Every structure is written in structure tokens, then in C-alpha cells.
A and B are shown apart, each in its own frame.
Chain A
């Protein structure tokens, strides 16, 4: 437990000192996205990595958070700080209701069902012009404000988003190492054995599905209030798949893995921009290579790589 705390403090320091290396600039904006994506990847990882239940519709919950927050503040003039929790609770309730029937499904069938939900939500964003502005999006969403500080620059937003992200990291680590987290992993490993020792697998799966949706909604609200403009294109099927990729590349069942996956998948396209038209090929190729050689994800693959390099060096010294 102590080790977890030290790891978290080191991670927080790393995150909080980051901006001093960049002094604003475009990269700060990208790092804001890394924060939002980390939150989303952790939310999905709780469901996929810990409880072993897939979702291909998480972009939908992310979008619901963004749109609910946007509509409540723009159309109805709410304060963003009120809109965010209300959106999160609403999305949580919705996910809870959806969760009961669909989490009866397993594997491919669950993937299809969640995929369908994601697509339905996406269609609703597109078609309800009066509420969402349709495909042209919703603009003029107010920034968050706290004690006279308006979060309207990349650096301010960086601290705002990462404060939330760090809270989600700590929340998830605590959960993973508790009786509930263990029960989740137990359901993942052997559902029948978990039930036999008294874990209500069905209820637990629905609960974690709802929790995952709430965290995604929170990320969505923060996204809306930092970008001030949202459109359905950001919440489509592609993004659900991207989130899934972040979780798998980073490492299933690891909170810091989700950060690594989110950071890699958010930063890589920016770095590959100089490769012009070849960026997609390099990007795809790198992902394939990583999955092949680091099946446990970055969080396990990188330490292994270091160990290997270290070992071969040691061997060479002896010889």
C-alpha cells in the first residue's frame, strides 16, 4: 500500500512539473488531451481490464457528458460546476438501466450490444438539431471558473484537467486494491467461483459499467468546457475503438498502463505529422509491433525490455 502511495506521488509530481518544460505552446494543448484520454482509458479499463467486460460504446458516454454539460450551460444558462455532476449522475443512471439487460451478454455479443448503444447515441447527437445543433455542433460553451480564475488558456486547462485526472487515478487505484476491486478481478478470472464465494457478479458488473460511464461523462464535460465547442464527430465509433486501443496497448488491468496508452496514442499522431501521408501507415505499423512484442501492454513490456537489455549487457561483461 505504501508503494502505491509513493508511485502516485511520483506520478503527480511528474504531471505537475510537466508544463515548466514546455512553457505553453501547442504541445500543452495536446497534453490537455492526454489528460482527458487518460481519464477515459482508466474508465474503460475498470470495465475491461478489471471486470473483463468489453464496451465498444464508451465514446457515447463521453459524448453524453459533453453534450449534457454543453446544453445545460448554453441553452439553459446553468453554471458549469452544476452541469457537470448533474450530467454525470444522469449518464450513470442511464448506464445502470442499460447495464442490467446487456451485461447478461458475454464476449462478442456484449461487444455488439455496446457498439449498438454507442451508435444510437451518436445518431441522436446528429439528428436532434434543436438540442445539439446537429452535425454542425454546439458552440459557445462557457469555460470553467474557480475563485475568479477562468480556465481559458492551455496552461490553466492543463492544471484543471490533470487535477481531475489525478483524482481519477487515485480513485481507481484505491478501488482496484479493495474488496470491490478484488471481486471484479475474481469475476474476470472465474465468474462461477466468484459467485460461489458470494460475489453478486451480475450486480457488480452493472455497477462498474455505470461507474465507468460516470467517469467517461465527467471527462466529456471537462472536454466540452475546455474546448468550448463540440460536434458529434468527436464521439463516434472510431473514438470508441481508439479508447479500446489505448487500454490494450497500455496494459489491461493497470491504471498507469492506461496513462501510457492514452499518452502514446494521443502524442504519436502529433509526432508523425512530419511524415505527411505516411503517418497512418507508421502509426498502424507501430501498434501492430507493440501488440506483437508487448502482449501485456506498455506497462509490463517496457520494464521487461529494460530487464532484457540489462541482462544481455551483464552477460557480455562476464564473457
Chain B
């Protein structure tokens, strides 16, 4: 479903990623792990069109999507969340999710401003359908709160709700558990599994090993910009290269 082929990224003289290739299967939860500076976030930014890679290709559903801007990827049903949570702070929680339905609605600037019947109808549909995602993530009671006033954990849920409103076939999450307490992390794990059960493929970068080992079907390990290993959580845990990368060599 998503294939990364020989991605290399050079910033100035620094090689952040070197010839990284892997593919993820439809319906899986795949985790990308690795020590700090391994290039995980860079990889994410390349896949989601924030950066353009030095060389290599990204294939999404057999289509070459390398270099496409994020708004095009959203229309192709690929969406992401951010490590530091990017919310629309001045808008309510409900409105945030309504923006997520941008690609699933089409009223033009003028038909909106002139309140054409079809735009009124569409507005009602957006309003109702977006509530569904607030329920799914369990933040319905916060619908009218201004997003900037949300506690961090709820903000994370809102960002996921907004991403789901795009009705993606794949969702990429950059460290979704960062900044969450253990209880919130546990709930997040359940939420990610429920997202997979909707038929949405999940790719996540994560530092919380417990979470990764618990929910991921497959894991890709990066170290110093290269792919170190790939496999099921079991295989990764037993992989000597991975262990030495994380814990350091004996000598």
C-alpha cells in the first residue's frame, strides 16, 4: 500500500537518510523506531510531502507520489499528525474537525458567501459528520471549547479526530504518545487499534517501546539514517543489531 524506495536525504553536507527502503501492508499498524537522530521524522516529512527528498521514491497505492505537496496527498487519502500537535488554536474543537472535511466538500467561495441552497445543505452535512469523529475519539463534550485551551492529551485526540475526518486510507502519526501520561498512552493504543479496525492503515514513529510492541503488526528500525532491521515485534526484540543500537556494544 505504501512503499518507500531508496530514499536518501542530504541536508547541506549531512546525510540524514541513506537508501532507506521498506513497504507496509494494507491494514497493518507499522511502527518506525530508532534512537534519536535516526532520521524518523525526516522520513515522515518526506513521505507526507513536507520535504522533498534528494533521491528515491515514495509509492502510495502503486502510484508515485514523490514530491507531491501535502494538500494533494490529502486528496489521495494520506494524512498525518504532528509530534508537537498542530491545531487551529483560534477555532473550536468542532470547527477543527470540520476543517478536516475540506476535501470531502466542494462549495466555492461565492456559493458559501451567497448561501446557496447546496452550500447550506453541505454545511449541515459537514457539521453532523464531523461530530461522528469527536465521538470516535471521545471528545464530544469539548466540541465548543477553543482548541488553544485544550490540555495536551485532548489536543492530541483532536488532532487525530481532525485527521480521521479526511477519511484517509493511511494515517501517519509522528510520536503520538509524546507528552502523554501512562493512562493516556494506554487509551491511545486502544484508539489506534480501533482506527486500524476501520480499515485504515497506520504508520507511526514512536519512542514508547511498550506501546510500539503492544500495538504494531510490523516494525521498521532506523539507525543513523539507515534501515537496521524490519519484522514483527518479536523478531525485532530478539534482533542483536537492534539491541546493540539501543543499548550500545559491549566493547
Whether A and B are associated in the same complex: the answer reads yes
User: What residues make up the interface of A, taking CB atoms closer than 8 Å to B?
Assistant: 171-172, 174-175, 178-183, 185-186, 188-190, 192-201, 207-208, 211, 253
Chain A residue, CB-CB nearest to B119: A178
Contact of A189 among B48, B91, B159, B163 (CB under 8 A): B91
Name the A residues within 8 Å of B115 (CB-CB).
Answer: 174
Name the B residues within 8 Å of A253 (CB-CB).
Answer: 90
Chain A residue, CB-CB nearest to B85: A193
User: What residues make up the interface of B, taking CB atoms closer than 8 Å to A?
Assistant: 48, 50, 69-71, 74-75, 79-80, 82, 86-91, 95, 98-103, 105, 107-109, 112-115, 119, 122-123, 126, 159, 162-163, 165-166
Chain A residue, CB-CB nearest to B104: A198
Is A192 touching B86 in the complex (CB atoms < 8 A)?
A: yes
Name the B residues within 8 Å of A208 (CB-CB).
Answer: 109
Also in contact, A183 and B48, with CB within 8 A (given A195-B71, A196-B80, A197-B166): no
Name the B residues within 8 Å of A172 (CB-CB).
Answer: 113
Best-buried of A181, A200, A207 by chain B (most CB within 10 Å): A200
Is B112 touching A196 in the complex (CB atoms < 8 A)?
A: no
Alpha-carbon gap, A180 to B163, bound state (A) = 18
Is B166 touching A178 in the complex (CB atoms < 8 A)?
A: no
How far apart are A228's CB and chain B's nearest CB, in angstroms?
Answer: 31
Is B98 touching A178 in the complex (CB atoms < 8 A)?
A: no
**Which 10 A/B pairs are nearest by Cβ-Cβ distance?**
A198-B74, A178-B112, A198-B103, A193-B86, A189-B88, A175-B113, A195-B70, A190-B86, A186-B99, A195-B71
Alpha-carbon gap, A192 to B166, bound state (A) = 15
Total contacts A to B, CB within 8 angstroms?
102
Name the B residues within 8 Å of A175 (CB-CB).
Answer: 109, 112-113
Name the A residues within 8 Å of B123 (CB-CB).
Answer: 178-179
Name the B residues within 8 Å of A192 (CB-CB).
Answer: 50, 70, 82, 86
Name the A residues within 8 Å of B113 (CB-CB).
Answer: 171-172, 174-175, 178, 180
Alpha-carbon gap, A201 to B86, bound state (A) = 15
Alpha-carbon gap, A66 to B91, bound state (A) = 37
Alpha-carbon gap, A6 to B113, bound state (A) = 18
Alpha-carbon gap, A195 to B69, bound state (A) = 8
Contact of B75 among A185, A188, A198 (CB under 8 A): A198
Is A198 touching B90 in the complex (CB atoms < 8 A)?
A: no
Alpha-carbon gap, A200 to B72, bound state (A) = 8
Chain B residue, CB-CB nearest to A173: B113
Also in contact, A201 and B71, with CB within 8 A (given A175-B112, A180-B109): yes
Is B90 touching A188 in the complex (CB atoms < 8 A)?
A: yes
Also in contact, A196 and B48, with CB within 8 A (given A174-B114, A186-B88): yes
Alpha-carbon gap, A192 to B44, bound state (A) = 14
Q: Give 12 CB contacts A-B under 8 Å.
A: A175-B109, A178-B112, A178-B123, A179-B102, A182-B95, A183-B99, A186-B91, A190-B88, A194-B99, A196-B70, A197-B100, A198-B71
Alpha-carbon gap, A44 to B87, bound state (A) = 25
Is B87 touching A190 in the complex (CB atoms < 8 A)?
A: yes
Is B122 touching A179 in the complex (CB atoms < 8 A)?
A: yes
Alpha-carbon gap, A195 to B102, bound state (A) = 10
How far apart are A67's CB and chain B's nearest CB, in angstroms?
Answer: 26
Name the A residues within 8 Å of B165 (CB-CB).
Answer: 197
Alpha-carbon gap, A179 to B86, bound state (A) = 19
Also in contact, A199 and B71, with CB within 8 A (given A172-B113, A193-B87, A193-B88): yes
How far apart are B226's CB and chain A's nearest CB, in angstroms?
Answer: 27
Is B88 touching A198 in the complex (CB atoms < 8 A)?
A: no
Is A179 touching B105 in the complex (CB atoms < 8 A)?
A: yes
Is B88 touching A185 in the complex (CB atoms < 8 A)?
A: yes
Alpha-carbon gap, A181 to B95, bound state (A) = 11
Is B103 touching A207 in the complex (CB atoms < 8 A)?
A: no
Alpha-carbon gap, A94 to B197, bound state (A) = 50
Name the A residues within 8 Å of B75 (CB-CB).
Answer: 198
Also in contact, A179 and B112, with CB within 8 A (given A189-B91, A193-B86): yes
Name the A residues within 8 Å of B95 (CB-CB).
Answer: 182, 185
Chain A residue, CB-CB nearest to B89: A189
How far apart are B9's CB and chain A's nearest CB, in angstroms?
Answer: 18
Contact of A174 among B82, B112, B166 (CB under 8 A): B112
Contact of B109 among A193, A201, A211 (CB under 8 A): A211
